[in-house]
Every structure is written in structure tokens, then in C-alpha cells.
Structure 1
Amino acid sequence: MKKVGIIGGTFDPPHISHLLIANDVRQKLALDEIWFMPNHIPPHKQNKSITPTPIRVEMIKAAVATNRCFRVETIELQREGPSYTYDTMLLLTKKYPETRFYFIIGADMVEFLPKWHNIEKLLELVTFVGVKRPGYSFSSPFPVLEVETPEMDISSTLIRKRVRDGWTSQYLVPDKVKEIIEEKRLYE
């Protein structure tokens, strides 16, 4: 059976911390692939992404292009409304019945698992993998595999703010993502 990790998010922009987490989880759990899954409308965020979806997908593809074990999965972008993980995983498990899925989340999301849509049924479809993050406890009434990765206090919000303030995104995002940000004048 194929083992696939999924890391979801707005990826606005995707950054080196996303890639490091994905690579470490893949190696530590001996996963075959990691799928980066941009969401349409994340239910836990108040506003939509400020960057149009096709540009976010272009940035993710650029970010993962150098790792043969990484790919982009756009299934959530093909649906309208909020992107509930349960609905997505129901579709993916039907489409790929010979695949075991591992859903990668940060410690901030581990704390909120009890509030996730259809969490009990979702646990039948995926194994959750929690990645430690500074400032968050790691407790949940649900089973979560814990993976430790180097702590990097980098976020898409930080990168957008730095670019808006006239700073470069260099060393925070892959070079090809930096080129897209600059070429399309994102976050200015």
C-alpha cells in the first residue's frame, strides 16, 4: 500500500518551513510521497487568500519542483465553499483506494482537532501527524503521530508583511517562488 502525506494550506506563499516539515515527515515516517494541497476557502480563516488561486498553485509547483517525492494536489480547488478536510479525504480515499493517507498539521491545529468537521469519521480515513511548533501545547483526545522537526518561526503572514515593508523574501522561500513574487509584484 502506498503511503502519502498531505500538507494543506493557503500557501500564500509557500516557504522553506513548509518544505522542511514535508521532507522531515516523509523521511521519519517512510512515506512514499507528500502532496501539497492548497485549499479554496479554509474554514478556520476569516478571509480568503489575497493572491489569486492560479498564482498560488504556480508558486507551490515552483516550490516542490526539485523534489521527486513532492507533488501538488488541487482537489480542494475544484469545489466551491469551505474546504473541509473530511469531504476532501472522502474523495481522495475513493479515488486512491490503495493509498494510506497521513494528514500533516501543526501543533496549533492539533489543539483544535475536537472542533474539526466530522472529526470522528475523518479519523477513519487518515492518520494525523502533528508537527511541533513553538508556543503550542501538543495535547489532543485523538490519536496523533508526533514528529519533531527543526523549529523555524517562518510564516506566510511574516513573508507577506516583510515584502509589503520593502524587504526581500530571499532565503524564506525557494528562489523560483521569490521570482514569481517579484515578477507579479505580490504583497506590495
Structure 2
Amino acid sequence: MRKVGILGGTFNPPHIGHLIMANEAFDALQLDEVRFMPNAIAPHKQLVDDATMENRLRMVEIAIEPYDHFTIETIELELGGISYTYQTMKELCEREPDVQFYFIIGGDMIDSLHTWYKVDELVKIVEFVGLKRPGTQSASTYDVTMVEAPEIDLSSTLIRKRLKNGGTLKFLLPEGVEEYIRKEGLYGTR
């Protein structure tokens, strides 16, 4: 059975914290691959004045391009609408019955896991993999396999603010992502 990690998110934009999380889980659990799964509409985030779905997908493609063990999962973009992890993972498990899925989440998501749609059913079909984040408890009553990894206090919100205010992004974005953002005039860079 193949072992596949799933790292879901808005990736608005993707940053090095996403790559580090994916790589740490890949290594610690000896996964076959990690799929980055941009959501169409996240149930827990409201997107205002942000990049289009196509922009976010292209930025993820650019971010993971150098890494053979990272791929993209577009199921939530294909399904459209609000992306509930339970529905997505149920569909993926049906499509790929020979795969054990590991759903990778950060500390903020671990803390709110009890609020997720159909989480009691979800934990029966995927294994949650958690990485601590500064400022979170990274604790849940649900089983979460914790992976030791460097804790990085970095968010897409911070990146967007820096872009808007002309702050430095050196070492914060994967190679090529900032160039794409500026070329497309995203996040107030016009």
C-alpha cells in the first residue's frame, strides 16, 4: 500500500513553511509522496481581494517544481464550492483504495480539529499528521501523529502584508513565487 501525504490549504500564497511541513512529514513517515491540495473555498477562511484559483494553483506548481516527491492534488478545485476535508478524502479513498492517506496539519488546525465537518468519520479514513506551530497548543482529543519539525511562525497573511507594504520576502517564498506574484500584480503589487 502506498503512503501519501496530503497538505491542504488556500496557498494564498504558498511559502517556505508549507514546503518545510510537507518535507518533514515526508521524511518522518517515509511517505511515497506529498500532494499539495489547494482548496476551492475553505470553510474556515474568508478570502477577500486574493489571488484567483488559477493563480494559487500556478504558485503551488512553481513552489514544488524542483522536488520530485511533491505533487499537486486538484480534486477540490475540480469539485468546486466549499472544500470539506471529509468529502474530499472520502472521494480520494474511493478513487485510490490502494493508498493510505496522511493528512498533514499545523498546530492551528490541530487545535480546531474538533470543529471540522464530520471529523469523527474523517479520522476513520485518514491518519492525521501534526506539526507544531508557534502560538498554538497543537493539542486535540483526536489521534494526531506528531512530527518533530522546526517551528516557523510564518503565514500567508504575513506574506501578503509584506507584499502590500514593500517589505522583504527574502527566504520566505519558494524560488519563482515572488516573481510570479509581481508579474501578475497580485496582493497589491500593481
Could you tell me which residue of structure 1 aligns to residue 187 of structure 2?
A: 187
Could you tell me which residue of structure 2 aligns to residue 73 of structure 1?
A: 73
Is the CA contact 1:33–1:70 (under 8 Å) kept in the aligned structure 2? yes
Could you tell me which residue of structure 2 aligns to residue 53 of structure 1?
A: 53
Tell me the CA shift for residue 139 of structure 1. 2.1
One-letter amino acid matched to 1:64? I
One-letter amino acid matched to 1:135? G
- Tell me the alpha carbon deviations over residues 124-156 of structure 1, each in whole angstroms, 9 at most, x when there is no partner: 110001110111113211110001211111111
Moved over 3 A (4+): none
Could you tell me which residue of structure 1 aligns to residue 108 of structure 2?
A: 108
CA distance in 2, matches of 1:46, 1:17: 21
Tell me the CA shift for residue 48 of structure 1. 5.3
CA distance in 1, matches of 2:138, 2:66: 32
Is the CA contact 2:35–2:70 (under 8 Å) kept in the aligned structure 1? yes
Is the CA contact 2:6–2:102 (under 8 Å) kept in the aligned structure 1? yes
Is the CA contact 1:41–1:48 (under 8 Å) kept in the aligned structure 2? no
Could you tell me which residue of structure 1 aligns to residue 117 of structure 2?
A: 117
How do 1:157-172 and structure 2 match up within 5 A? Answer: 157-172=157-172
3-state SS of paired residue (1:82) = coil
Could you tell me which residue of structure 1 aligns to residue 145 of structure 2?
A: 145
Is the CA contact 1:13–1:156 (under 8 Å) kept in the aligned structure 2? yes
Could you tell me which residue of structure 1 aligns to residue 82 of structure 2?
A: 82
Unaligned runs of 5+ in 2: none
Could you tell me which residue of structure 1 aligns to residue 17 of structure 2?
A: 17
- Tell me the alpha carbon deviations over residues 101-140 of structure 1, each in whole angstroms, 9 at most, x when there is no partner: 0000111111111111111111111000111011111321
CA distance in 2, matches of 1:175, 1:135: 27
Could you tell me which residue of structure 2 aligns to residue 95 of structure 1?
A: 95
**RMSD, aligned CA:** 1.2
One-letter amino acid matched to 2:140? S
3-state SS of paired residue (1:14) = coil
TM-score relative to the length of structure 1: 0.96
One-letter amino acid matched to 1:58? R
CA distance in 2, matches of 1:3, 1:80: 26
Tell me the CA shift for residue 83 of structure 1. 0.4
Unaligned runs of 5+ in 1: none
| Percent sequence identity over aligned pairs | 48
Is the CA contact 2:111–2:139 (under 8 Å) kept in the aligned structure 1? yes
Is the CA contact 2:49–2:187 (under 8 Å) kept in the aligned structure 1? no
CA distance in 1, matches of 2:48, 2:87: 19
The worse-fitting range, judged by mean Cα deviation, of 177-186 and 167-176 is: 167-176
Tell me the CA shift for residue 42 of structure 1. 0.6
CA distance in 2, matches of 1:181, 1:170: 14
Aligned length: 188
3-state SS of paired residue (2:31) = coil
- Residues 182 and 17 of structure 1: CA distance in aligned 2, closer, same or farther (over 3 Å): same
CA distance in 2, matches of 1:16, 1:72: 16
3-state SS of paired residue (2:18) = helix
